[in-house]
Structure 1
Amino acid sequence: MKKIYLICMIFVGVFAYAQKTFEFYNTTGQSVIITNLVADSANNFPEIHSLPFGPITVAPFSSYTLQNTARLYTFPFDSPASSPYINIWQMVTSSSSWNITTLDAWLTGHHFDFSRMTFSIGGNSYTINTTNTMSSPVIGPGFTAEYDEYTAPAPSNVVIYTVVIY
């Protein structure tokens, strides 16, 4: 895993990044379907979900990245270079939910952080969150999934949320 992570970090190092970037690397021979990305503020409500957009299929040995360089400290809900581009999100409170545009999520999402990702692989569903680091990965048939977060020191304050499935 350390070799895979090192390769990912070298790959990451050659690109300019937004203040907050979400990266997903599928280094398995299986397709991974991201069914929901969730960001929240201090692990609490409100949450913003990608669920209404629908699933994102990440082919074997491929990646998916959300980034936006235009707004400091905002989760990259509006990520124009991402393919597919998520054009609708869902705002969730403890008592209700409603769909919002990508731009509204981006404008609302000040100080939102990655919370969790639900995905399916091999027909089974899993959730990875901020506790699933190298010491506590998600392990399934034929894969292991880990989460890592990198925060650069000031003045850049770049935050990179990374999920790797290998």
Structure 2
Amino acid sequence: MSESEKLTHVRTDGSAQMVDVSAKPVTSRTAGAVSTVVTTPEVTGLLAQNGLAKGDALGAARIAGIMAAKKTSELVPLCHPLPISKVTVDLELDVPVPGSVQITAEVKTSGQTGVEMEALTAASVAALTLYDMIKGVDRAAVIAETKVIAKSGGASGDWSRS
């Protein structure tokens, strides 16, 4: 295994460590992630009409995702606290299939390390919040695939999922 293929959060003795980014330059960095909540077309219809007894589920999920991005370093032990410049969380009904909600999060910073974890945290917590809001009408709802879809900035450059 080459030096570039080693896990950066693991010391030679196998114990966990926070990566030292002090020598890295500050660059503009962006990351996007998605998470999907699979429910029913009836539930996405209720969401579209703001018809849930708990209130504005989409708005609550959006705010929860934004808040979560800002708290990532408190939730994921080896993440660096970052000066987040922007977080957007968008929820699309019936995407990618009828009866589902696709949550897309994008996070931006100028820093020494990327914001993939912040984007993943935003999408994940928005999905958890949406599940909490709809579980009263669909206990079988599922939080499906959560993944990074793109990143830019830093030494490794730009990347996007095909």
Do they superpose with TM above 0.5?
no
State the TM-score, normalized to the length of structure 2. Answer: 0.32
Pick 1 or 2: higher relative contact order, CA cutoff 8 A, min separation 6. 2
TM-score by length of 1: 0.31
Computing the radius of gyration from Cα coordinates, the structure with the larger value is: 2
